[in-house]
Structure 1
């Protein structure tokens, strides 16, 4: 069994000394991997990826706090899953959770349940907000670059039959993709 530690700060201005001091008190750490100035939301964190690649069954990853391996509960659970898929365990110093034992596994199960609840609640609120906006006549997304006047011009140019669609797009200052999208709704 080899112990590795992981340290992360979100911005270059943040200081990792608190994390490093806490990790220095843990016996047997072979190497500390550190991503400094890198957000936890990024899919690729070089040192985190290197740590995961190196893990072998029986290894342990030590972190100062769970939020160092992910920004949301779902991110943390995905990170823990990647660690456990390698046959390794995670030990969080601040939360005092160690996934090598049954209590740590139980805590992760509870966290997973809350993460799913959080995700489902966000989806439900988003749908309700979109439905309410639609009921008021609002549509999400970017405003259309084709207003009523430009649409009338497009229809007139098409009806004349004298211009290609590429010419019409150029003349109305829109992309061909936008023109084709507009024509698909006619």
Structure 2
């Protein structure tokens, strides 16, 4: 039995293109989800895993529709293989029911892993070079010019006797930010718990 799986990340996105491709591929059942791939709990994918039997085939429109990331994708395809279930990705032209399809899938995964390792290596080399020059990563210390202006206004309002809550409302910022701005300006706050 061919079982299709279609997924989009948001409710606003449309599944029509995937559904047409899966029906054209001859899928008897098609499971649909509108959920981010990063979310672990995907009920429809779980249902597929529960109903699959040896000899079945899982079909997706593209590889990224199935796995959260490369490791999850490899885990799922290996699970299918262990249960004697084939896997097909229509757009990626991968069909693990054939030896060539298995080879292509594993080459694809190896290349993706190699690319990730290269990116990681370049990032680490860049950070090391920046550190030798005395540069450190992260956001610059202090406040932006706009935040500094807002901090001056917050200080002025506070010194005029406005409560922290009112300053926050007036400037459309949180009370925590008001405290941060006042601290930045060197203003001593009488009672931090006051509203």
Q: Which runs of 5+ in 1 are unaligned?
A: 145-172, 174-186
Structure 2 CA distance for aligned equivalents of residues 93 and 55 of structure 1: 19
2:114 aligned partner: 117
User: Is the Cα–Cα contact under 8 Å of residues 62 and 92 in structure 1 kept in the other structure?
Assistant: yes
Structure 2 CA distance for aligned equivalents of residues 53 and 118 of structure 1: 33
**Alpha carbons of 1:79 and 1:140: their partners in 2 closer, same or farther (altered >3 Å)?**
farther
User: Is the Cα–Cα contact under 8 Å of residues 4 and 62 in structure 1 kept in the other structure?
Assistant: yes
- Are 1:126 and 2:132 counterparts? no
**Alpha carbons of 1:42 and 1:118: their partners in 2 closer, same or farther (altered >3 Å)?**
farther
User: Is the Cα–Cα contact under 8 Å of residues 60 and 89 in structure 1 kept in the other structure?
Assistant: yes
2:62 aligned partner: 65
**Alpha carbons of 1:9 and 1:129: their partners in 2 closer, same or farther (altered >3 Å)?**
same
- Are 1:31 and 2:14 counterparts? no
Please state how far the C-alpha of 1:71 moved relative to its aligned partner.
5.9
TM-score scaled by length of structure 1: 0.65
Q: Which runs of 5+ in 2 are unaligned?
A: 142-182, 184-195
User: Is the Cα–Cα contact under 8 Å of residues 23 and 63 in structure 1 kept in the other structure?
Assistant: yes
Pick which of 41-50 and 57-66 moved more: 41-50
Structure 2 CA distance for aligned equivalents of residues 67 and 109 of structure 1: 15
1:16 aligned partner: 15
1:82 aligned partner: 79
User: Is the Cα–Cα contact under 8 Å of residues 73 and 111 in structure 1 kept in the other structure?
Assistant: no
Structure 2 CA distance for aligned equivalents of residues 39 and 82 of structure 1: 22
2:3 aligned partner: 4
1:70-126: CA deviation from partner (whole Å, max 9, x where unpaired): 365555333322322332111122233210111101101211220221121122022
Count the aligned residue pairs.
143
Match runs of 1:84-163 below 5 Å: 84-140=81-137
TM-score scaled by length of structure 2: 0.63
